[in-house]
Chain A
Amino acid sequence: MSEPMIAIQGLTKRFSTADGRKHLAIDDVNVEVAEGEFVSILGPSGCGKSTLLYMVGGFVAPSAGVITVQGRPVTGPGPDRGPVFQEFALFPWKTVLENVMYGLRQQGVSRAEAEARARALLDMVHLKDFADFYPKELSGGMRQRVAIARTLAYQPQILLMDEPFGALDAHTRTVLQNELLGIWERDRKTVLFVTHGVDEAVFLSDRVVVMTRAPGRIKKVVEIDLPRPRVRAELLVNRRYQEYIVELEQLIEDVHLEAAGA
Chain B
Amino acid sequence: MKSALRKLGPATSTVLSLGALLVLWEILARLAQIDGFPPATEALVQVPLILGERESLASIGASLWRMFLGGALALCFAVPVGLAMGRNKRIAQALNPVLTAAYPIPKAALMPIIMLWFGVGDLSKVLVIFLGVSLPLIYHSYHGAHAVDEKLLWSAMAMGMKPVARLFKVVLPSALPDVLLGCRVGLAMALIVMISSEMIARQSGAGDLLFNALDMALYGDVYAMIVILAGIGFMLDWVFERVRRRLVHWAESRQDAMVPGGGV
Contacts and interface: CB of A to CB of B under 8 A. Distances in A.
A150 B158 CA distance: 11
A81 interface: yes
Q: Is the interface of A mostly helix, strand, loop or mixed?
A: loop
A83 B252 contact: no
Contacts of B161: 106
Contact of A79 (B152, B160, B249, B252): B160
Contacts of B85: none
Interface string B158-172: 111100000000100
A76 interface: yes
Interface in A175-232: none
B176 interface: yes
B117 interface: no
Quick one: which of A77, A87, A102, A103 has the most chain B CB within 10 A? A77
A79 B154 contact: no
Contact of B251 (A106, A136, A154): A136
24 contacts: A57-B154, A59-B157, A76-B157, A78-B158, A79-B158, A82-B158, A87-B149, A87-B151, A89-B149, A89-B151, A89-B152, A89-B155, A91-B155, A91-B170, A91-B173, A92-B252, A93-B250, A103-B160, A106-B160, A106-B161, A134-B249, A134-B250, A136-B252, A150-B155
Interface of B: 149, 151-152, 154-161, 170, 173, 176, 248-252
Interface of A: 54, 57-59, 76-79, 81-83, 85, 87, 89, 91-94, 102-103, 106-107, 134-136, 150-151, 154, 156
The 10 closest A-B pairs by CB, nearest first: A89-B151, A77-B157, A103-B159, A106-B159, A93-B173, A77-B158, A134-B250, A85-B151, A93-B250, A59-B154
